Amino acid sequence: MIIAPFDRIVSIGKSGIFVPLDHYSAASQGGVDITSGSVKTTRQPFHAALHNRCSLNLSGMIGRTCGGEVPSMKTSAFVRSLDWNSLKEGDCLTAAQSRQVDAFAIETLGVGSLILMEHAARSAVEWLLQHAGCRGRTAPAEAPEKADLPPTFWILCGRGNNGGDGFAMARLLLVTGHSVRVFATHPQEEMSPDAQANASILQTLGIPLESIASFLNEAATLQPSDWIIDALLGTGQTRPLTGELAEVVTAINDSSAQVLAIDLPTGFPADHGPAAEDECCVIAHATITFVSPKQGFLNPLAHRFLGETHIASIGLPHDQLLAAVRGRE
């Protein structure tokens, strides 16, 4: 596995958003300016725009996976495993409460929504990099060597903030030298502002946003070492899946790749969980959900779709977030 490691990652201004400094020479032809959730080309050359910005050396962030030595992040203190045996209703948030958590962080604490998205994406990537190459579906008997291939991360992004998490994850995976492909359900002008901002950063860095049709055409080529990142729909999904999204779910579940769901598997109702074992829903190997378990996790069928489940921080004290939300009710 040959990787061109990054010497540094750079936080642009006060945005808290990290980009790979050395990955794309094309970025030196125009600048990256991140202000108020937007990305635009500046007149400064890239190196000048980044001059004197906060940089972080990636040496010491090298980890070893089963696939060999690859750039990785240090063990995260911001992700904990869900204890299914002790899960109770008081631990869980409804979809509405999850939105209230974000609103409290943004409106009361003054934490920018892009910062919350960056924390969520980084927590998920840190967990992922500790597991990529060390787990997964069994390789086909006729091609056992395919289990040892270096992973490629196929990131499926919706138009909302769940998709924004996926775009941010793609960038952070680039920072650590991994191969990514990014598939978007909608054009940028139809995305939420924060999803649009993170998608714009990727495009400024030279990463194309491929169509969902391309994913459907190529899903059968995924290998057991590859990962699908399901960032299509989060707690905002309220209706059964139909049409192209239903096709995507089927393609994900039929693939040989490992599947990580972000916040919730696509098709999983946040408040009540799946109604049947054959629900049109992504069956994930693992789910990274943010702040707290969701109410639907109490459904007896939930574990079938969620897989190994972990709770990730968005960079704010968990107990205070929950207390603030429940104090509003």
* pLDDT tens profile 176-226: 888 899 999 999 999 999 999 999 999 999 899 999 999 999 999 999 989
Which residues neighbour 36 within 8 Å (Cβ) at sequence distance 6 or greater? none
pLDDT of residue 329: 56
* pLDDT tens profile 236-283: 877 888 899 999 999 999 999 999 999 999 999 999 888 888 889 999
Whether 278 and 250 have beta carbons less than 8 Å apart is answered as: no
Cα(first)–Cα(last) distance of the chain, in Å?
Answer: 52
What is the rounded CA–CA span in Å between residue 96 and residue 24? 40
* pLDDT tens profile 108-143: 888 899 999 999 999 999 888 887 754 434 444 555
Closest CA to 153 of 116, 129, 179: 179
Angle between helices 318-327 and 95-103 (to 10 degrees): 110
Q: Tokens 């060390």: give the residue.
A: 134
The average confidence (pLDDT) of the chain is 76
What amino acid occupies position 242? T
Whether 156 and 229 have beta carbons less than 8 Å apart is answered as: yes
Higher pLDDT, 297 or 8: 297
pLDDT of residue 278: 83
Three-state SS annotation for 220-251 = HHCCCCCEEEEECCCCCCCCCCCHHHHHHHHH
Region 63-327: CATH code = 3.40.50.10260
Average pLDDT of the segment spanning 50-55: 28
Angle between helices 193-204 and 161-175 (to 10 degrees): 30
The length of the chain, given as a count of residues: 329
Higher pLDDT, 61 or 314: 314
What is the reported pTM?
0.76
* pLDDT tens profile 62-113: 222 333 333 333 445 678 888 787 888 888 889 999 998 888 889 888 889 9
DSSP 256-297: SSEEEEESS-TT--TTT--SSTT-S----SEEEEESS-BGGG
Ordered by start, the domain boundaries in the chain are 63-327
